[in-house]
Amino acid sequence: MGLGVSGTLSLTSACAETTPALGHAEAGNVEPALTHLTYTPRHGHTLHLADRLALFDKVGFSWPSAVVHDPVHDVYWVSNLNMDGAAGAGFISRLQPDGSLSTLNFIDGRRAGVQLSSPHGLAVSGDTLFVADVSAIRKFDATSGEPKESLVIPGARYLSDVALGANDTLYVADVGSDPNLASVPNEGSDAVYRISSSGEVSVVARRPDLGGPVALLADSTGLWVACTGSADLLLLVPSAEGESPDAGRLHLPGESPRGIAAMPDGTLLISSWTARAVFRGFRDGPFQPIITGLESPADLDYDARRKRLLIPLLTGHALAIFELEPLAAGSARPKQAR
């Protein structure tokens, strides 16, 4: 049984200014004090949390790897690897945010006519749900769940995330090997791809030292890439001419990041397996933990309408939900000592 968890996080100040190339300096000299909550696991499991938001207690998630809030249909989509099932048995859940209706297998790889093996990253645009599924991007109707089409990425080893950019562009991360199986070697296929609105595939970056790009976020700054093999957040500025050089790197406090999401206040949220935590910081850093004690936090998202942080717990088979307020407009950011 999957359990949700709830807590209220109060952020009393912002994060320190660092490299101007990755952000903008602001006035102020405030001591950093990002309040964070630490939960103590009960029975060796973080699912039994006294303050959980029990909306989805009876939803039997199976290795949930990603969540996305669909603002058009106002639902939560959750991808499930279903690693205990047969090959091609992955599925995607569709949840009403108030818990009134939850369909565990809304899109089911076991259903005739549906191709869905191990669904990871999700993105939604209008009536289309995009799913990163090993070697292809699957498209589904966000109203009916019916399959639309699949786009196979030549040479892909393990597609882990998909993100929406400007002009209906899609960006896709290839982590290089199954991120959930440490015994599977990385064969140097680490890559980030671009798919144009016409379906043309091109390479944004492809090299072994990318470090296993697992999560993406596209914004006006560029393309943010979290990699499992490092504690860095990579910034790319995709160019139409071909492979894009690194525009910058930002060190993260927790290794093995698995998800990245943005908040309306300009901060980023990063989930980390090794730290069992979610970190928050501005695009020029630094990042501080706001939630710790989480079991395998995966590809997270933020529901701005309800001010909720949504975190799939992969090995916990749960969707953790926290209330998280954006920073107040004009919040002071501490300057870094020089």
pTM greater than 0.85: no
pLDDT at 302 over 50: yes
Alpha-carbon span 301 to 85, nearest angstrom: 26
- Dihedral angle computed from the Cα positions of residues 170, 174, 180 and 183, in that order, rounded to the nearest 10 degrees: 170
What is the pLDDT at residue 161? Answer: 97
Residue type, 151: L
Average pLDDT over residues 189-209: 89
What is the pLDDT at residue 8? Answer: 30
What is the pLDDT at residue 242? Answer: 66
pLDDT at 291 over 90: no
71-116, pLDDT tens digit by residue? Answer: 999 999 999 999 886 777 899 999 999 999 999 999 999 999 999 9
Contact 240, 169 (CB under 8 A): no
226-282, pLDDT tens digit by residue? Answer: 988 777 788 888 766 667 777 788 888 877 899 999 999 999 999 999 998 899 999
Alpha-carbon span 104 to 233, nearest angstrom: 33
Question: For the chain, what percent of residues have pLDDT higher than 90?
Answer: 49
pLDDT band at 44 (very low <50, low <70, confident <90, very high): very low
What is the pLDDT at residue 331? Answer: 58
What is the pLDDT at residue 192? Answer: 94
pLDDT at 123 over 60: yes
Give the highest mean pLDDT range of 17-31, 133-147, 153-167, 214-228: 133-147
The strands making up 201-206's β-sheet, listed across from edge to edge, are 159-164, 170-174, 191-195, 201-206
User: Phi and psi for 54 in degrees, rounded to 5?
Assistant: -85, 40
What is the pLDDT at residue 216? Answer: 97
Alpha-carbon span 138 to 209, nearest angstrom: 27
Alpha-carbon span 320 to 293, nearest angstrom: 12
pLDDT at 308 over 50: yes
What is the pLDDT at residue 9? Answer: 29
What is the pLDDT at residue 180? Answer: 59
CATH class of 8-324: mainly beta
> Given phi > 0 = left and psi -120 to 50 = alpha, else beta, which region is 255?
beta
What is the pLDDT at residue 12? Answer: 25
51-70, pLDDT tens digit by residue? Answer: 557 677 678 899 999 999 99
Q: Which residue in 271, 265, 262, 333 sits closest to 299, CA to CA?
A: 271
Centroid of chain to Cα 174: 14
Residue 286 preceded by cis peptide, ω within 30: yes
Higher pLDDT, 274 or 184: 274
Q: Which residue in 209, 206, 194, 260 sits closest to 233, CA to CA?
A: 260
